[in-house]
Amino acid sequence: MTPQTAIQAPYAAEPQHLPPGNGQKIGPKSASGLRRCDPLAAPKVELSGISLSYRTNDGTRLLALDNINLKVAAGEFLCIVGPSGCGKSTLLHLIAGLHFATSGKVRVDGKAAEGPGTDRILIFQELGLFPWLTVAENVEFGMKMKGISKSEREEKTQHYLRLVHLSQFKGSYTHQLSGGMRQRVALARALATEPDVLLMDEPFAALDAQTRDLLHDELERIWSETGRTIIFVTHNVREAVRLGDRVALLTFRPGRVKREYAIDLPRPRHLEDVEVAQTAREILNDLREEINKSLEEQYGHEAIR
């Protein structure tokens, strides 16, 4: 089936900031099993006019992000793709409150996000698990920092370890686990603090294909069960289509929202699905232009001939 397109998205950025054709709806006309976002509801996360520049070693200023406008609905799964160096991870850090924009506002539930908060949790690719703590103690750590009582910590730890299918490994140490299992520990630790927004920075990039496919299924199931809002950065366009309600494509530096795609495909999806591959190909065609720009800057015109 050939995907059909229409101008539609759960949240479209302000028209003056978007190129014509932004907000494509990709997929078959009728799809079941989708979680719809209310376009009239207030956004869970809103980025308004976000720009970021910084001074380089030679004293010049580099514009990394330019006038980013995005709205993310409560319970939405938004994936962000773009060429290397376009500011995808930086955008997550701004939402998490780890860095501050040069201009513009990050709002969560309509309130300015002026620093880190327990309503937003960032999962790094490196995970940041403590090797001297057991699996259960790693999951408990964030709750302990929040001052949650021991009995409540233990109850929630059991619940979230069951959710990621690691109950029998609660007494194990991280070096005794596979890469996929460590990733699930990091996910359980993030969920245990019960954030409203889960920020994921290429969490599956270092995993083998089989483990990554299994974790796609796990993450989709957990997202469906918990109703969390997820903003997921990846270089893998097919992964973005496999997981996302919507995909935002950033341009090469300075990062701008080039286009947004509402993924109108039924769930559950799989990477090998024909419609997933077709949809990913459409997005990749737009992404390739930005990749060529990055190669041209780095290697010159010869690199892309």
Q: Hey, what domains does the chain have and what are their CATH numbers?
A: 1-14+21-29+42-119+197-298 (3.40.50.300), 123-194 (no CATH)
Q: What does the alpha-carbon distance between residue 137 and residue 59 come to, in Å, rounded to a whole number? A: 45
pLDDT band, residue 21 (cuts 50/70/90): very low
Please state the pTM of the whole predicted model: 0.82
**Quick one: what percent of the chain has pLDDT higher than 70?**
84
Q: What is the pLDDT of residue 206?
A: 75
Residues facing 27 on adjacent strands: 4
Q: What is the pLDDT of residue 37?
A: 59
More confident residue, 292 or 66: 66
Q: What does the alpha-carbon distance between residue 203 and residue 208 come to, in Å, rounded to a whole number? A: 12
pLDDT band, residue 233 (cuts 50/70/90): very high
Query: Which two structure tokens, joined as six digits, stand for 133?
Result: 């703590």
| Dihedral sign for Cα atoms in the order 159, 161, 167, 173 | negative
Among 123-132, 186-195, 227-236, 284-293, whose mean pLDDT is lowest? 123-132
77: CB partners within 8 A, 6+ apart: 35, 223, 229, 230, 232, 243, 244, 245, 246
Q: What does the alpha-carbon distance between residue 80 and residue 82 come to, in Å, rounded to a whole number? A: 7
